[in-house]
Chains A and B, each alone.
Chain A
Amino acid sequence: MNLNIKADKAQTYDAIVVGSGMTGGWAAKELTEKGLKVLVLERGYELKHVEDYKTAMKDPWEFEHRGKIPIVAAEEHYATMYFSAKEGSQYLYSNDKENPYIQKRPFNWIRAYHTGGKSLLWGKHTYRWNREDFLANAKQGLGVDWPIRYDDLIPWYNYVEKFVGISGQAEGLAVLPDSNFLPPMAMTAPEIHLKKSVAQKLNRPITIGRVAHLTKPQPWHTAVGRASCQFRNRCSRGCPFGAYFSSLAATIPAARQTNRLTIVHNAIVKEIILDDKAQKAKGVRVIDQNTLEVREFYAKLIFLNAGTIGSTSILMNSKSARFPNGLGNDSDQLGRNLMDHHLAIGARADIEGFEDDYFFGARPGSLYIPRFRNWGNDKRDYLRGFGYQGGASRADWSRGATETGFGADFKKKMTQPGPWKINLSGFGEVLPNPNNRFYLSEDQKDKWGLPQIVFDADFGENERAMRKDIMNDGAEMLEAAGFKNVVPYDNPVAHMGLGIHEMGTARMGKDPKTSVLNKFNQVHACKNVFVTDGSAMTSASNVNPSLTYMALTARAASYAVEQLKARSL
């Protein structure tokens, strides 16, 4: 291995951001806009907005396997492929064979190692957490108390929402606080019927999904080159219109416009280099993913945005005399309280009637049913709650595979819209549990010599109890609408990681003895290192988390720059 350590000026920046995904993009934007010279280190390959979305404009017949993943690719990408990637999007998913990990208990670790990270994969559902989400741990004596409250985040939610661009309908609900919305997407006729029936009979609100798509671009959106959503629902192949929010389409271009951004690709951050005397980080050590060359970069400020598992594992790998068990790990909380949302559970039904109702366009979003359990006067024998995403659409030609018949009439029938179907899929909160964790393997390494991650986490009693309600309540709502053949389902494949919202492992808290980060996402014991991705979460809520990560990142960046200017970092 060629050690090429040049402590010269060229390797020194004001701030280093590790990772260019959802949160790294925000760190880069905020820090550059506040005048800092920023280096973003990205472990994956360079993906260029628009020009590298090579499949985005392809027609179905231009794919050799018409969307299916060849078996060899499926084997190599097993954890991720079978559940969301297709022929047109597989290039955005990381290869498990090249990036192995160990499952002491089953865990699907879905990764996107390239510019933009998982901001190119996400479903774009974007919800604020509510007031109770930040109080629940303290009230119930679980995990630790959040060091912040909803009010601390309001200005930052406002700030990031405007830039992101979120379509949705204001409802004035305490359980699902409104964001700053662009016009909502439409509901289909059976969806409107469901909304009315459920409001009338069960007194539960249903709203249109709040998704990060530009339905009416504002000047600050077009200023970075984004345009209106075209309703083609090919988002998983990359959006050449920049119509959905990703760091590639939005935050990175904004950071570039400052001329203070440098991005280095293929740079796997191995560890943080500690200045023992000052008890501060002075830089990071990086392995080139192709050449294995080791390099160092230096900065006054370090933001870890490598994704929940990525960032925490960098802290774990950063061992020193002061931190023998990983940087900032005085509390032994690094890697613990790994959370996710539990899903693959809900109810579905056939819809009779509405034969004359149809829709034009492919909507990249669905309905949203906010949490109603353990809320207000409702009390269950488990803690916390769940919400649903789902919607109705008409079956297409693929229904023919399981329908009887073939020949000329059958062929013609498949060209007509099929019957309506509906599905409600629940997203449940997972409680913090110190025994749900990941750690570094002592003997298994990857090809870069880094210890493999060992996952050891599962759902507990609380999650299992909640699942019964998710099924039954889903069915109850479909029945309230008079839909037919209502089937509640619980998918045995559900386990940790599949919720794709991995959170926790370097939690925020008031007390350095029980938490890794303080209320500004700053490592308690190493003040110039900030961790602002999902690692920081103290509990998991039941709504999608990325908006909250973004708000936390913008808030932490603002604080960090203030501290730098005050010379207290």
Chain B
Amino acid sequence: MNRREAVTHVAWILGGVFSAPTLQAMNRWEQIGSQATALRQSGSFLTETQHEIMARVAELIIPRTDTPGAIDAGVPDFMEVMLRDCYRKPAQDTFLAGVGALEQKGFLKLSADQQTALLKQVEAEAQKTSDSSFWLITKELTLLGYYTSEVGVKASFDYQPIPGRFEAIKIKPGQKDFMYGNQA
């Protein structure tokens, strides 16, 4: 069993189901014993082009449909904050290498279909390894950024900040997931 699974189980003990992104963060804290200090930058983590690439990637993962998409939810800026504050150097480097590769391939100039096809390749590649990858970091941050944002939560879930009771129920047709705001 890998570290990530291991920590999930500890998390369960406290009755909390940790989100995948949180577990990723935990993975990193594992390595904290080493001397490397966190990179704490002010200002921008990505170049303007890289930022644009990531906005496009995020929007392909969570596009605007009849509900808002990743860009509407502020995911691109959120990603930068997270990468800067919550990720250690090795993960930051993995991420930067991934954006760099997309940049080299002229990602922004590709058609929407070509972009999607390229990301499918990137995804397939990432699935060959259990290590943290550019794709995993990107997807986790996009999902976390979107599904915990105000627009994302309100558009996607039945948000119940104060449910007032706990009971077993039957699902109604087309029922959205309940969200309780206990994930932070």
Interface residues of A (CB under 8 A from B): 55, 58-72, 74-75, 78, 81-84, 86-88, 123, 185-189, 192, 230-234, 236, 343-346, 348, 355-366, 389-391, 393-394, 396-402, 404, 406-408, 410-412, 414-418, 423, 425, 487, 489-493, 498
Contact = CB atoms under 8 A, between A and B. Distances in A.
A84 B11 CA distance: 7
A414 B156 contact: yes
B177 A61 contact: no
A65 B144 CA distance: 10
Q: Which A-B residue pairs are the 5 nearest by beta carbons? A: A361-B166, A67-B184, A398-B19, A401-B20, A361-B163
A360 B169 contact: yes
Nearest to A67: B184
Nearest to A237: B184
In the complex, which range does the number of interface residues on chain B fall in? 35 or more
30 contacts: A59-B181, A61-B149, A62-B184, A65-B82, A66-B183, A69-B86, A70-B85, A71-B28, A71-B85, A78-B29, A82-B32, A83-B7, A84-B11, A86-B22, A87-B184, A187-B168, A189-B168, A230-B162, A232-B163, A234-B181, A348-B9, A360-B163, A398-B19, A401-B140, A401-B143, A406-B62, A416-B175, A417-B175, A491-B1, A491-B7
Contact of A359 (B16, B88, B140, B166): B166
Contact of A61 (B63, B65, B148): B148
A365 B15 contact: yes
B6 A492 contact: yes
B169 A491 contact: no
B148 A71 contact: no
Contact of B167 (A63, A186, A408, A425): A186
Contacts of A423: 9, 12
Contacts of B26: 82-83
Interface string B140-162: 10011101111001001100111
Contacts of A63: 184
A409 to B, nearest CB: 10
B150 A343 contact: no
Contacts of B22: 67-68, 86
A374 B20 CA distance: 38
Contacts of B144: 66, 398
A68 B60 contact: no
Contacts of A230: 162-164
B7 A493 contact: yes
B166 A407 contact: no
Contacts of B38: 71-72, 75
Given A74-B32, A425-B13, A411 B7 contact: no
B165 interface: yes
Contacts of A69: 25, 86
Given A71-B88, A415-B176, A344 B9 contact: yes
Interface on chain A toward B: helix, strand, loop, or mixed SS?
loop
B181 A406 contact: no
B21 A357 contact: no
B15 A364 contact: yes
A65 B181 contact: no
A82 B30 contact: yes
Contacts of B184: 55, 58, 60, 62-63, 66-67, 86-88
Nearest to B139: A401
Interface of B: 1, 3, 5-7, 9-17, 19-22, 25-26, 28-30, 32, 38, 40, 60-63, 65, 67, 69, 78, 81-82, 85-88, 116, 119, 123, 127, 136, 139-140, 143-145, 147-150, 153, 156-157, 160-171, 175-184
A360 B178 contact: yes
A61 B119 contact: no
A293 B161 CA distance: 45
Contacts of A401: 20-21, 136, 139-140, 143
B20 A399 contact: yes
Contacts of B86: 65, 68-71
B29 A82 contact: yes
A411 B62 contact: yes
A186 B166 contact: yes
Nearest to A394: B177
Given A68-B21, A88-B184, 12 more contacts: A55-B184, A65-B82, A67-B19, A185-B166, A231-B166, A234-B182, A406-B61, A407-B116, A411-B67, A415-B177, A487-B1, A491-B9
Contacts of B65: 408, 411-412
A419 to B, nearest CB: 12
Contacts of A493: 3, 6-7, 10
A417 B9 contact: no
A540 B19 CA distance: 33
Given A87-B184, A416-B176, A361 B60 contact: no
Contacts of A490: 1
A491 B167 CA distance: 32
B10 A344 contact: yes
A404 B60 contact: no
A377 B26 CA distance: 42
Nearest to A427: B13
Contacts of A357: 168-171
A119 to B, nearest CB: 15
A72 to B, nearest CB: 6
Contacts of B123: 404, 406
Given A72-B40, A75-B38, A232-B161, A360 B181 contact: no
Contacts of A364: 15
B159 to A, nearest CB: 8
B164 to A, nearest CB: 5
Nearest to A77: B29
A417 B171 contact: yes
Contacts of B168: 186-189, 192, 357-359
A348 B69 CA distance: 34
Contacts of A185: 166
A360 B63 contact: no
A344 B136 contact: no
A67 B148 contact: yes
